[in-house]
Chain A
Amino acid sequence: GENVEQHPSTLSVQEGDSAVIKCTYSDSASNYFPWYKQELGKRPQLIIDIRSNVGEKKDQRIAVTLNKTAKHFSLHITETQPEDSAVYFCAASNYGQNFVFGPGTRLSVLP
C-alpha cells in the first residue's frame, strides 16, 4: 500500500520568510496530491492540490511542485504571516480515493 513521509516534523520561520515542506510517496499509481492546513482545534482544510499531469501549481503565496520520477512533492509558502501557523498535511491518493496522509508538519511563524 501507499506510504507517505513528510519532513520536517516541525518548522519555525521568521515572518516574511519562506517555508518549504517536502513529502515522498511510495505508490507510483498515486496521481492526486492535496495539501491540508489544520489550525489548532479545527478541521483540516484543503489549501492546494496537484494532479500527476502537472509539475507545478501556484495560488497566491502558496505553490506546490511535483516530481513524479522521484515520487516527491513539496509545499512552498512565501512571505509567511502569523496566520500561516498551523499543522500542514500532505496526502497521496489514486483518483481522490482513500487518501494516505503524511504525519504532518507543525509550522510556526515567529513575529
Chain B
Amino acid sequence: DTAVSQTPKYLVTQMGNDKSIKCEQNLGHDTMYWYKQDSKKFLKIMFSYNNKELIINETVPNRFSPKSPDKAHLNLHINSLELGDSAVYFCASSQQRDGYTFGSGTRLTVV
C-alpha cells in the first residue's frame, strides 16, 4: 500500500516536448512538494503546496508548473523540455512538524 506514488518511473522524451508527472499520496498529509535531484545528488525544492498556499522556488523556470486537483494529488507539468531538465524528480508529502515521505522518483531524460 504505497504512501506516495509517482508515475511514470522513467520518462524519455525529446527536447521541446511537454510532459507531466503525476503524484498521489494516501497519508492524509496537508502539504506536498516537488524536488529535483541532479546528477550530483543535490536535492533542490521546486514547489510546496497545501490547500492554502503555493510556494514557488524563484529559481525554477516558469516552464514548470504544479497542478493540484485535490489535497491528495500534486502533478508537475513541464513545457518545452530542455536537456538541462534531465534529472530525477521526487514528489513528497508531509504533515506539519513531521518528516517527509518521498515518492519513488521519476527519472526524466531529455534527448
The answer, yes or no, to whether B75 is at the interface (CB within 8 Å) is no
At the interface, yes or no: B94 with Cβ under 8 Å from chain A? yes
Q: Which of B12-20, B62-70, B99-107 contacts A (4 or more CB under 8 A)?
A: B99-107
Q: In the assembly, what is the distance between CA of A106 and CA of B41, in Å? A: 10
In this complex, the interface size class of chain B, counting residues with CB under 8 Å from chain A, is 20 to 34
The segment from A22-30, A38-46, A67-75 found at the interface with B is A38-46
Select from chain B the residue with minimum beta-carbon distance to A100.
B45
Q: Cβ of A49: which chain B residues have Cβ within 8 Å of it?
A: 99
Task: Give B43-64 as 1s and 0s: 1 = Cβ < 8 Å from A's Cβ atoms.
Answer: 1110010000001000000000
A36 to B102 alpha-carbon distance, docked (Å): 10
- B101 proximity list for chain A (CB < 8 A): 46
Q: Which positions 30-85 of chain A face chain B at CB distance < 8 Å? A: 32, 34, 36, 38, 42-46, 49
* Complex CA distance for A96 and B93, rounded to whole angstroms: 10
Q: What class of interface size applies to chain A in its complex with B?
A: 20 to 34
Interface string of B77-111 (1 = CB under 8 A from A): 00000000000001000111111111111000000
- B43 and A97 within 8 A (CB): no
Cα A95 to Cα B41 in complex, Å, equals 25
> Which of B40, B94, B104 is the one whose CB lies under 8 Å from A97?
B94
What residues on B are CB-neighbors of A42 within 8 Å? 104-105
Seen from chain B, the residues whose Cβ lies within 8 Å of a Cβ on chain A are 31, 33, 40-45, 48, 55, 90, 94-105
Q: Which 3 pairs, one residue from A and one from B, show the smallest C-beta to C-beta distance?
A: A43-B102, A101-B43, A46-B99
